[in-house]
Structures are given as structure tokens and as C-alpha cells.
Amino acid sequence: MTNKNIQWWKIALLALGVLMIAGAVTYTLVTRTSAATASQAANLSKTAKTAGFVASDMDGELNWVKNLNTKFESNDFVIVILPGNDDVTRKVEQLVKSTCEKIRQDRTKIEFITLSPADPEFPLTLDRLAIHKLPAILIMAPAGKQQILKSDITESKILEAYLSLQGTCIPGTSGCCSK
């Protein structure tokens, strides 16, 4: 064999090796993405169960919680407003809306919904979450984390809960921040 033939085979083997590595990386990325999507759906169901949502339907989940599946397909966080009297609820809705706009500036996908007090599941939801003063809000992340703000709802409290659900250190609220 000549030197040219040996070099050609080395190049061919190198190219084959690079193709095999590229294929393995592609396979890994595709299977991780599929597993992550399935994991998020499972975690959402677990979130509903661990939050104490036992239900009024055959599957064991409240209907409004089931509807959150579609919300989490396109959002990172969902805020659920549990309304009180009309005037205070309108103020809370405006506060949540403006806070969501600020959060979206950080390229986070967030949406809010307001439950109807006329919904037959509304009293059950309040009971399960031990909410006695309205309005209240429930901030949920698809990984199964949630925070409830039951009274004195402010923009800073909503932002603090959002950051806490992200795992961000909030100075003055936990011992995780370096000094």
C-alpha cells in the first residue's frame, strides 16, 4: 500500500467516527427532550395530587386542574386567582396582569386564570388549600412546585414567590445567599 492509500483510509475512518458521534449526540438529545416532556406531564399530575386536589370526577382531579395541562404546554408558570368580592378581585387581577408583564420581560412564559366562584369545585379548592380569606392566588410551576399568597397580595410578594419557585436566592428570605 502506498502512503496516499493509508492516508485516505485514515480520513475515511475519522469521518465515520465523527458521523457515529454526531448520531449518538442527536439520539441522546431527542430521547432527553421526549423524556422531559413526559416527565413534565407526570409532574403536573403529581403537583395536583400533592397540593391536595382530590376531585369531583372519576380520575381524582379537579376539572380546572386538568385544564392546567394545556396551560403548561405553552407556559413556564401559571397563576390561579381565587376571587373574593368584585372590587378587590379586579385590583388583584390588574396587579397580577402587570406583574406577569414584568415577568415576561425576562422571557418567561406565564399566564394567569381566574376561577369562578360559581364553579361547584371552588369551595372544595378553598378547603383543600386551607384558604379562608379571599382573594388569594396560587402560583404554579410545572415541576410540581407551588406557592399560595393568601392575604395582602402585592407585586413584590408575587415576584418573590415567582423567584422562589425558580430556585433563585432572595436576600433576606433564606440562608442561601452569599454575603
Cell numbers placing 43: 409532574
Among 72, 79, 76, 46, residue whose Cα is nearest residue 149: 79
Examine residue 177 and state whether it is found in any structural domain, yes or no: no
Examine residue 52 and state whether it is found in any structural domain, yes or no: yes
CATH number of the CATH domain containing 96 = 3.40.30.10
pTM: predicted TM-score of the whole model, two decimal places: 0.61
The pLDDT of residue 43 is: 52
Cell numbers placing 77: 408558570
Examine residue 175 and state whether it is found in any structural domain, yes or no: no
- Contact, 155 vs 95, CB < 8 A? yes
Which spans in 3-154 are helix H?
Answer: 3-50, 63-74, 86-104, 122-128
Examine residue 48 and state whether it is found in any structural domain, yes or no: yes
- Contact, 51 vs 129, CB < 8 A? yes
Q: How many domains does the chain have?
A: 1
The pLDDT of residue 178 is: 56
3-state secondary structure of 122: helix
Examine residue 165 and state whether it is found in any structural domain, yes or no: yes
Examine residue 86 and state whether it is found in any structural domain, yes or no: yes
The domain in which residue 150 lies consists of 1-170
* pLDDT by 10s per residue, the chain, length 179: 566 666 777 888 888 888 788 777 777 776 665 554 555 545 544 554 444 444 444 445 677 877 777 787 788 888 888 888 888 888 999 999 999 999 898 888 988 888 888 888 888 888 888 888 889 999 988 777 888 898 788 998 998 888 888 877 666 555 555 55
